């Protein structure tokens, strides 16, 4: 069974095999956790992303999918980029959010990662309510059939940490 750990802090400071990035479909950088990962990880990550766009991801990475690059200067072997759905009040996109966690674990597991750090995907600029985002994250990781041994949710602030802690209790 996969162990689930919670940490409050900056995901770019974590030492794990794979750090998951809440990217946008362009893979060419953005704000929030994406900006932080590219800033601290250095230009090698963006170079890899550009290569992926030039190769098989010409239209970008679809929502709910995941792809790996180098982790550059981060203390990790890979960054796994996934594109969360934008929250909608008129359409249930929770399947896509669950897919982000599942697909990221699949990609990380296939690479041989044993430890994976996740941010709270879609809960920033993409507007997903934190409690529901935490529910989907925890339920999906618990149900995942994966070789990853430890999943670490790295929550940026106390509110996010508490939302995830409540789901784990």
Paired residues of 69 in beta bridges: 79
Should residue 105 be labelled a site residue for ligand ADP when binding is judged by CB under 6 A? no
Nearer to ligand ADP by Cβ, of 84 and 109: the residue is: 84
Give CA separation, 106 vs 86, 109, 138, in Å.
Answer: 22, 5, 16
CB atoms within 10 A of CB 135: 17
132 binds ligand ADP (CB under 6 A): no
Residue choice 22, 71, 107, 163 for contact with ligand ADP (CB under 6 A): 22
Question: Cβ of residue 160: shortest distance to ligand ADP, in angstroms?
Answer: 5
Find how far residue 158's CA is from the centre of its chain: 19
Beta bridge partners of 4: 151
Say whether residue 20 binds ligand ADP (CB under 6 A): no
Alpha helices in the chain, H assignment, sequence order: 32-41, 43-54, 94-111, 130-143, 158-168
Whether 92 is catalytic is no
Considering only the stretches 6-14, 60-68, 69-77, 91-99, report the one whose residues sit in contact with ligand ADP under the rule CB under 6 A: 6-14
**Beta-bridge mates of residue 150:** 3, 115
Residue numbers at the binding site for ligand ADP (CB under 6 A): 10-12, 22, 32-34, 36, 84, 119-126, 154, 156, 160
Residue positions annotated with a catalytic role: 34
């Amino acid at each position: 069974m996969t162990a689930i750990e919670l940490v409050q802090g900056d995901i770019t400071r974590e030492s794990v095999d794979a750090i998951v990035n809440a990217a946008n479909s362009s893979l060419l950088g953005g704000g929030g956790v994406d900006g932080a990962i590219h800033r601290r990880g250095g230009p090698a990550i963006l170079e890899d992303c550009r290569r992926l766009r030039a190769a098989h991801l010409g239209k970008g990475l679809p929502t709910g999918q995941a792809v790996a690059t180098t982790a550059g200067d981060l203390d990790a072997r890979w960054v796994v980029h996934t594109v969360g759905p934008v929250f909608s009040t008129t359409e249930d996109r929770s399947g896509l959010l669950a897919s982000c966690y599942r697909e990221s674990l699949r990609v990380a597991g296939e690479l041989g990662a044993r430890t994976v750090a996740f941010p709270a995907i879609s809960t920033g600029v993409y507007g997903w309510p934190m409690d529901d985002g935490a529910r989907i994250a925890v339920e999906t990781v618990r149900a995942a059939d994966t070789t990853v041994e430890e999943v670490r949710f790295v929550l940026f602030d106390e509110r996010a940490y508490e939302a995830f802690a409540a789901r784990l209790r």
